[in-house]
Amino acid sequence: MIGKCCEGGIPLVLLSLPFSSPPPSFSSSHHHILPLPPLKNRVEERLEVYSQRFDVVLLGDGDLSYVIALLNELVGEEDGGSGGSGGMGGKSE
Amino acid sequence: MEDWVREAHDLLIEYGFRRSLLSTAVKHAHLAVREGCQEIMDISAQAAVPLLVFSAGIADVLEEVCRQQLPKPLPDTVHVVSNRMLFSSSATSSLPSSSSSPTNTIEASNKDQEVKEEGVLIGFTDPVFHVFNKRAASVLETSPYFHQDDYEHRKNVVLVGDSLGDLHMSDGLDAEEILRVGFLNDR
């Protein structure tokens, strides 16, 4: 479909946060408009996939309190002589 | 994706980005660290737990954000894996000394003009990080960070990310257990 869309020139790609239709300023001179779904604001849709891939999913742009509690628990266990190997934290921007 | 990132880097070079602009640019960029970030840094430092921060952005920017918004400097246990800027070090040098080779350098035709001043962006370190390769495997062999203390023998990972691509950050680590925590942001 994309290849067909590109026939006759470089396509116009619209990528944005939610909009259901192209802005009114776009006229019919744009022959090929490839509607892309909004990347965000699909929490419910993405929740299923996130739930399958992540062990814990945190909603609502919250703080790091869950992770802090988790780390404290893990570090506490280690300090308590459980003999487990150390943890390695990873954080994404 | 790598080409896209390289082109974005080239634009910064082409327009003569300077180290001195970094602080002001970050200050006006409306960036914010998630609440609790300092506490995690503290836990990392106090318990000697290595904390890797992966970013497909720019390490210098990320570190400047932390410098401006966190009350303490990043502890030694924190390691930022991201694209790092290379700045001119003097009027005569073409590239600052670095173990990593620059990937994006300004063209020779305008280098003389651009590099006369100290602190002008002249390139970025290799490899180029983007959303599809920001993973431990990309730097495991080359970064001395992974080869200090007992870091190589760590077997348990807590991975925190906000995109499905972040799930691959631990790729390359010899981990036995990985606990994956995902932020599903709604904006």
Tell whether A51 and A70 lie within a shared domain. yes
Evaluate whether residue A89 is within a structural domain: no
Quote the number of domains for chain B. 1
Tell me the mean pLDDT in the region A2-26.
Answer: 46
Evaluate whether residue B175 is within a structural domain: no
> Closest Cα of chain B to A78: distance in Å?
9
CB A56 within 8 A of CB B182: yes
Chain A residues interacting with chain B (CB cutoff of 8 angstroms)? 40-41, 43, 46-47, 49-50, 53-68, 70-72, 74-75, 78-79, 84-93
- In sign, the C-alpha dihedral spanning B61, B66, B69, B71 is negative
Tell whether A70 and A53 lie within a shared domain. yes
Establish if B151 touches chain A: CB-CB under 8 angstroms. Answer: yes
The secondary structure of residue B51, as a DSSP letter, is: E
**Which of B4, B64, B183 best tests the A interface by mutation, with the highest count of A CBs <10 A?**
B183
Condensed to tens digits (0 to 9), the pLDDT of residues A16-62 reads 434 444 444 444 455 555 555 555 567 888 899 999 999 999 998 88
Evaluate whether residue B151 is within a structural domain: no
pLDDT for A86? 44
Query: What range does the domain containing B113 cover?
Result: 2-136
Quote the number of domains for chain A. 2
Report residue B40's pLDDT band, with 50, 70 and 90 as the boundaries.
Answer: very high
Tell me the mean pLDDT in the region B126-153.
Answer: 81
Minimal Cα distance from B156: which residue of A? A87
Q: What is the CA radius of gyration of chain A?
A: 23
Query: What range does the domain containing A4 cover?
Result: 1-36
Distance of CA B139 to the CA centre of its chain: 12
Evaluate whether residue A64 is within a structural domain: yes
Report residue B128's pLDDT band, with 50, 70 and 90 as the boundaries.
Answer: very high
Q: Which residue has the higher pLDDT, B107 or B187?
A: B187
pTM, 2 dp: 0.71
Tell me the mean pLDDT in the region B30-43.
Answer: 92
Evaluate whether residue B170 is within a structural domain: no
Residues of B in contact with A87 (CB under 8 A): 49, 154, 156-158
Evaluate whether residue B179 is within a structural domain: no
Percent over 70 (pLDDT), chain B: 84
- ipTM for the whole predicted complex goes beyond 0.90: no
Tell whether A52 and A21 lie within a shared domain. no
d(CA B72, CA B41): 9
Window from A60-64, B70-74, B99-103 with minimum mean pLDDT: B99-103
Evaluate whether residue A53 is within a structural domain: yes
Evaluate whether residue A5 is within a structural domain: yes
Evaluate whether residue B35 is within a structural domain: yes
Tell whether A31 and A52 lie within a shared domain. no
pLDDT for A21? 42
Strands annotated E in chain A: 12-14, 33-35, 56-59, 87-92
Evaluate whether residue B144 is within a structural domain: no
Is residue A37 classed exposed, middle or buried when 0-12, 13-18 and 19+ CB atoms within 10 A define those classes? exposed
Query: What phi and psi, each to the nearest 5 degrees, are found at residue B5?
Result: -65, -45
Is residue B173 classed exposed, middle or buried when 0-12, 13-18 and 19+ CB atoms within 10 A define those classes? buried
Evaluate whether residue B171 is within a structural domain: no
B68: helix, strand or coil: helix
